[in-house]
Amino acid sequence: MKFPEVLAFSRNLEISDALMHSGVWNDNMSEMQNSAWQPIELHEKRNRATHSQYSAKDADKSKSNLSWGDDAALPHDSNTLKLSFSLKIMGSLEDATACNQPEFQLALSKIIEEYRASLTFEELSRRYAYNLVNGRFLWRNRVGAESLKVVIITADKQWVFNSYDYPLNEMDTISNDTKDYNELVNLIQSGLSGDSFEYIEVIAYAKIGKGQRVWPSQEMVLNVPAGEKSRILFAINDCAAMHSEKIGNAIRTVDTWYNVDQAKVLPIAIEPYGSVTTKGEAHRRGNNSFYKLLAKWIDKNNITEQDKHYVIATLIRGGVFGGKD
């Protein structure tokens, strides 16, 4: 079947930006939640550094490399980072935002309904839940934390997880033996499977040390004039923050199916071509790309269960998938 020129899906995991606050660690979770938390403010640093980048020319390596940019850290009377955001898990996946080929839309709806009936979103829900409870969304703020807990709050309950009980790279051997974890999986599964949505709030507490540096998102600023501030960090109302896109990238880091020839692979974020831009790699260039697998599923209905998980996760990710730029 010909791929439509216009095809787009909205995100089914709608994530807010994340705010960063500072405070003091307390082993009593109730007391820690109710204690005072202060917004982490950005501050500027101007340094005289050296040139360390590779270059065939050595003439200017003795000169100073002047650096001016934003920075963020815990106050010296605080040892804990609090990161908080909300997440809405939405259903009705088969409702494309735009599709200019009704026949294709009908076939696509059919395979999504088949997936809902046979595989019930359980595996994907299990993996999304895993990336919530392990604190992957903290990114560099997770590194070197002495203690790390994630609290997930719903309308009528909350769950508390010790994130170090869920190693980042053990996604294919997840143990579903805790009641709280299974309840979270069921809630995500309910949101993806239904016609409405589920809503949760996520709060992570990372004990990283007094005065230690924290890592908000960095703004993408192009063509910075010479001599101007070159590192601009993200903040909301003078509170350091992380982009929703970066949080979402961590939550959808569930693809361990891109290389079936290896017994174990590191999870990567769900992307149509398996792109990992920080490493300059695209793990799904050929017949295992989203487009090839989706076409094969629609035309022949004989892709593997793992490939079905990947295709559905890409639709959950959302995006513009049409055949034109």
The predicted-structure confidence for 224-282, as pLDDT tens digits, reads as follows: 776 678 789 999 999 999 999 999 999 999 999 998 777 778 999 999 999 999 899 99
Percent of the chain with pLDDT over 70: 95
**Least confident among 105-119, 141-155, 252-266:** 252-266
Query: What pLDDT is recorded for position 301?
Result: 83
92 within domain boundaries: yes
Each residue of 181-192: pLDDT tens digit? Answer: 999 999 999 999
Position with higher pLDDT, 56 vs 204: 204
Query: What pLDDT is recorded for position 177?
Result: 73
- Judged on CB neighbours under 10 Å (0-12, 13-18, 19+), 300 is exposed
Q: What is the dihedral of CA 115, 116, 117, 120, to 10 degrees?
A: 100
Contact 276, 268 (CB under 8 A): yes
Continuous H helices in the chain: 29-34, 102-118, 122-133, 179-193, 244-251, 290-300, 305-317
99 within domain boundaries: yes
79 within domain boundaries: yes
Q: pTM score, two decimals?
A: 0.93
305 within domain boundaries: no
Which structural domain range is residue 90 located in?
A: 10-46+65-253
The most confident of the ranges 61-65, 193-197, 248-252, 263-267 is: 248-252
Give dist(CA 310, CA 236) in Å, integer: 34
- Judged on CB neighbours under 10 Å (0-12, 13-18, 19+), 314 is buried
Whether pLDDT at 135 is above 80: yes
* Host H or E run for residue 242: strand 239-242
Percent of the chain with pLDDT over 90: 75
For 83-112, the three-class secondary structure string (H helix, E strand, C coil) is: EEEEEEEECCCCCCCEECCHHHHHHHHHHH
* Host H or E run for residue 9: strand 7-9
How many folded domains does the chain comprise?
1
Question: How far does CA 143 lie from the centroid of its chain?
Answer: 16
Contacts of 295 by beta carbon, 8 Å cutoff, 6+ apart? 1, 3
56 within domain boundaries: no
Q: Is the dihedral of CA 14, 17, 21, 24 positive or negative?
A: positive
74 within domain boundaries: yes
Give dist(CA 33, CA 25) in Å, integer: 10
The residue count for the chain: 325
266 within domain boundaries: no
Lookup: tokens for 243: 């982009």
Residue pointed to by tokens 């309910």: 190
Give dist(CA 9, CA 29) in Å, integer: 39
Query: What pLDDT is recorded for position 169?
Result: 87
268 within domain boundaries: no
